[in-house]
Amino acid sequence: MDWLTIAVYSLPLAGITAYYLMRQRRAHAHHARVLEEAVTAGLTEPASLHPSIDPSKCLGCGACVTACPETSHHDVLGLIDGKAVLVGPTECIGHGACKTACPFDAITLVFGTERRGLDIPVLSPNFESNVPGIYVAGELGGMGLIKNALTQGRQALEAIAKAGVRRPDALDVLIVGAGPAGLAASLAAKQARMRYATVEQEALGGAVFQYPRGKLVMTAPVELPLIGKVHFRNTSKEELLAFWTDACRNSGLDISYQERVESVSRHDGLFVVKTSKRELRASSVLLAIGRRGTPRKLGVPGEDLSKVVYRLIDPEQYRGRRVLVVGGGDSALEAAASIAELGATPVTLSYRGEAFQRAKPRNRQRVEQASAGGQLEILLNSQVTRILADEVEIKHAGKPLVRKNDAVIISAGGVLPNDFLKSIGIRVETKYGTA
């Protein structure tokens, strides 16, 4: 082979290689900037399930970056110095596609971080708790993403059906909660022709029902029993609830609303469940309840005033009123922005942290725009110290502030129902970046 032939083949190859390396350097530099910005802004704590990457196993193929369903919207995973890195921790929605895509088994899905622990019930791979016959699915088990909760609800019910524990004198399964996990489990129970009952202390949708009007719900295509493949991307709370309502009606689901579970005990091999309306007996129990059933309170004087609430349903009810919103998560930012955007409605957003670490970018952008437009006052590093009839007292950066006030919305998250779980015998572990 002469030199001319070698050049004909080598030069294009060298050009392709150079172009590839240039693109790699640009991508690595971009992801490094994204990570640096996240660290600078204090946005380093994932909200829930997220990937932990073993650099000794990662070969930098980028399969995880491509597989992430958020890639088209945000930088969640990136490549830096030839290794995959979680560059946008607060953008991670816990989908888990990255772990499946990794060909080198370098990714483990974990809960919590070294700094911030997350309480999770101890569960087996089939969602059964340490109490035989009691299963947990959805948000209580750490799966806040709607798609994951729907999938878990179906899988948990399938595990219960496979266990085959049934008695003629009791329900095959009692499903507690009618959020995404409970809805999917109910559909699966009906499809399997099991004797079931579903009870919900509020309304269809669980935590989704409590979202503000018009909130965009992030979800993805999912397979539902009796329904089939459901294709949803970005849809409003109202559209999603309307779809679920139709699904319940068309499939003939039997769900009892405004019925709260008060106790679960074991007797004669069955679970005896006392609710606010009746007593039920079941061979198995599936807890598909949320983590926000009990709002986290501030514990300050005046919190028992009637003007204090723990969720926003309709921003319109606050038009023209002086409002204080407390919290730094998505629900707090959505509430503050929704009310501020009404116009002529003074809103103050108080958060104890230095940055809105747990909020999605679009919600941070909304409050930043409202603040820039003079519609919203943001007080970081602040804590409410007292609530009065027509004003609130706040400590901001160590200095006392007083704001005139007509309404307070506390969106500080919820308290895991530990007392309820403890009464049943379910063990809870605090995860600090572990699976």
pLDDT reported for residue 165: 81
What distance in Å separates the CA atoms of residue 346 and residue 319, rounded to the nearest whole number? 9
DSSP annotation of 89 reads G
> Which residues lie across from 285 on neighbouring strands?
134, 174
Q: Is residue 274 domain-shared with residue 423, that is, in the same domain? A: yes
Q: Which long-range contacts (CB under 8 A, 24 or more apart) does 129-134 make?
A: 129/426, 129/427, 130/425, 130/426, 130/427, 131/424, 131/425, 131/426, 133/165, 133/271, 133/283, 133/284, 133/285, 134/264, 134/271, 134/284, 134/285, 134/286, 134/287, 134/424, 134/426
pLDDT reported for residue 286: 97
Q: With left for phi above 0 and alpha for psi between -120 and 50, is residue 230 left, alpha or beta?
A: beta
Q: Is residue 137 domain-shared with residue 215, that is, in the same domain? A: yes
Q: Is residue 157 domain-shared with residue 208, that is, in the same domain? A: yes
What's the one-letter identity of residue 157?
L
Select from 68, 89, 110 the last residue of a domain: 110
Domain containing residue 17: CATH number: 3.30.70.20
Q: Is residue 257 domain-shared with residue 135, that is, in the same domain? A: yes
3-class DSSP state of 29 = helix
pLDDT reported for residue 160: 95
Positions of the chain with pLDDT under 70? 1-9, 11, 14-15, 18-21, 41, 71-73, 143-145, 207, 209-220, 232-234, 291-294, 416, 435
Number of Cα atoms under 13 Å in the Cβ half of residue 31: 23
3-class DSSP state of 392 = strand
Q: Is residue 278 domain-shared with residue 425, that is, in the same domain? A: yes
Using alpha carbons, select from 412, 408, 384, 411 the residue that is nearest to residue 396: 384
Q: Is residue 257 domain-shared with residue 322, that is, in the same domain? A: no
Between CA 355 and CA 432, with CA 414 as vertex, the angle to 5 degrees is 65
Select from 50, 75, 110 the last residue of a domain: 110
Q: Is residue 168 domain-shared with residue 213, that is, in the same domain? A: yes
pLDDT reported for residue 259: 92
Rg from Cα positions in the chain: 25
Q: Is residue 135 domain-shared with residue 256, that is, in the same domain? A: yes
Q: Is residue 141 domain-shared with residue 264, that is, in the same domain? A: yes
Q: Is residue 95 domain-shared with residue 143, that is, in the same domain? A: no
pLDDT reported for residue 6: 66
3-class DSSP state of 192 = coil
Q: Which segments of 277-417 are extended strands (E)?
A: 279-287, 294-295, 308-309, 323-326, 347-350, 376-379, 382-387, 391-396, 399-404, 407-410, 414-415
Domain containing residue 163: CATH number: 3.50.50.60
Q: Which domain holds residue 268?
A: 119-294+416-431
Q: Is residue 258 domain-shared with residue 164, that is, in the same domain? A: yes
pLDDT reported for residue 344: 84
Q: With left for phi above 0 and alpha for psi between -120 and 50, is residue 250 left, alpha or beta?
A: alpha
Q: Is residue 48 domain-shared with residue 90, that is, in the same domain? A: yes
How many domains does the chain fold into?
A: 3
Select from 110, 130, 157 the last residue of a domain: 110
Element at 97 (helix H, strand E)? helix 97-101
3-class DSSP state of 389 = coil
What distance in Å separates the CA atoms of residue 66 and residue 43, rounded to the nearest whole number? 22
